Amino acid sequence: MPVMLAMLAGGLGFPVWIELWKHRRRRVRWSMHAKLTLITAACCC
């Protein structure tokens, strides 16, 4: 289980993590890159 979570976290990439961290409290539109990355990660898991 920890390996799977590490692979998922690493697969998202730093740009997506930074965007999620910056907009964690506010309702702001995410970039297309973040949306596509999160949707693809959700479909593959």
Tell me which residue has tokens 């973040």.
Answer: 34
* pTM for the whole structure: 0.70
Residues 6+ apart with CB under 8 A from 33: 15, 16
Question: Quick check: 45 pLDDT over 70?
Answer: no
- Helix crossing, 2-12 with 14-22: angle to 10°? 90
Give the model confidence (pLDDT) of 12-34 as tens digits.
Answer: 889 999 998 988 888 788 899 99
Q: Where do the domains of the chain lie? A: 2-44
